Structure 1
Amino acid sequence: MFYQEVDEEITLKLLVLTDSQALFQLTDQSRESLREWLGWVDNTKTVDDSRSFIEHTLQVYDDKKGLHAGIMYQHELAGIIGFNSFDWTNKIGKIGYWLATDFQGKGIMSRAVRSLIDYAFSELSLNRVEIRAAYENKKSRAIPERLGFMEEGLIRQAEWLYDHYVDHVVYGMLASEWEAQ
C-alpha cells in the first residue's frame, strides 16, 4: 500500500473504503470551486459515488495503471493527488491533483507534488512526469511553474467542462532535470 510522509504536516496515502464519507464531505464542501475546473464534480452526488471512486482507484493501483492518494494535512483529508496514468513503455507518469478550498494557500499542494515527483523518479524509475492544467486555471498552473517544470505547449480544446471547452497547458519534467535542481 502506498504511503508517503511529505513532512511533519503532510502525508500521502492510498484511500480506502472507510475514507468514502470524508472524501464526499470534502468534495461537497468545495463543490463550487472544484466545479470550475473538474468535470466529474456534478457526478459526485452521494457517499456511494465517492466509494465507487475509491474502489476504482484501488483497482487502478492494483493493475499498476495509476496511483491516487489522499493528501492528509495534519491528519485530515485535504485533497487528492496522484498519477492519473502511467505509460510504462516510455516511463511517463501524468500527475493530477485538487485541494479543498479550506486548505488552499498553505503550500500543501506544492509540497505534495514535490514529494510525488521524488517518488516517481527514485522509486518508480520514471523518466518523465507530466502535468496538464487548464490554461485559465492559474492556481493549478502555478504548481509546475513553481517546481521548475518546462511549459511544453498548449492543447486546444482539450477538455469539455459542462458547457464549454478549455485549453490545457502541458508541463514536463525529466528525471535528469529534477536531479539537477
Structure 2
Amino acid sequence: MFIHKIDEDVSLKLIGLSDAERIFELTNDSREYLREWLPWLDGTTKIEDTVGFIKMCTNGFAENKSLHAVIQFKGDIAGVSGFNSINWSNKTAYIGYWLGHGYQGNGIMTKVVRALTDYAFAELKLNKVEIRAAEGNKKSRGIPERLGFVNEGTIRKAEWLYDHYVDHVVYGILADEWL
C-alpha cells in the first residue's frame, strides 16, 4: 500500500475500496460547499457512485495512467488528490484535488500539492506538472500561485458547471523551475 507521510498531521494514501464509505460521507457533508466548483456532485448521490469512482482510480493506477490518493489529516480522510492523468509521452502530470469543508484553512492542500509535485519530478522523472482551476475559484488558484507555478493562460468556457460554463486558468511548472 502506498502511503506518503508529508508531516506529523498530513499524509497521502493510495485510494482503495475500503475508503468508499468515508469519502462518500465527506462528499455528502461538504456537498453544497464543493458544488460551487466541482461538476460531479449531482452524479454522486449514493455510495455506489463513490465505489465506481474508486474503481476508475484503481484501474487508472494499474494502467499507469493516473494516481489518486486520499488525504489524511490527523488520521482522518479529509479529501482526495493526485494525478488525474499522467501523459508519459510528454512527461506531464495533471494534478486535481478537493478537500472537505471542515478541513479548509489548515494549509493541507498546499502541502499535498507540494508533495505531489516533488513526487512527479523526483520519482516519476516527469518534466511538467499542470493544475487547472476555475477562474473564479480563488482558493484553488492560490495553491499553485503560492508554490510558484506559472500562469500559462486561460481556457475559455473550459467546463460546464451545472448551468453555466467556467473558464479555467492553467498553471504549470517545469522540473528545472521546481528544483
TM-score, structure 2 normalization: 0.98
Tell me what 2:22 maps to.
Answer: 22
Deviation of residue 99 (structure 1)? 0.5
Output the CA distance in 1 between the equivalents of 2:90 and 2:43.
33
Q: C-alpha deviations, 1:37-95, integer Å up to 9, x for none?
A: 11111111111111111111000000011111100001100001011111100100000
Tell me what 1:100 maps to.
Answer: 100
Please state whether the residue corresponding to 2:132 is helix, strand or coil.
strand
Deviation of residue 2 (structure 1)? 2.8
Deviation of residue 16 (structure 1)? 1.2
Tell me what 1:41 maps to.
Answer: 41
Identity %: 57
- The 5-angstrom pairing of residues 4-83 of structure 1 reads 4-83=4-83
Q: How many aligned residue pairs are there?
A: 179
Q: Which runs of 4+ in 1 moved over 4 A?
A: none
Please state whether the residue corresponding to 2:120 is helix, strand or coil.
helix
Tell me what 1:178 maps to.
Answer: 178
The runs of 5 or more residues in structure 1 that have no matched partner are none
TM-score, structure 1 normalization: 0.97
Tell me what 2:148 maps to.
Answer: 148
Deviation of residue 170 (structure 1)? 0.4
Give the root-mean-square deviation of aligned CA atoms: 0.7
Output the CA distance in 2 between the equivalents of 1:20 and 1:105.
25
Output the CA distance in 2 between the equivalents of 1:22 and 1:9.
18
Tell me what 1:113 maps to.
Answer: 113
Output the CA distance in 2 between the equivalents of 1:14 and 1:73.
14
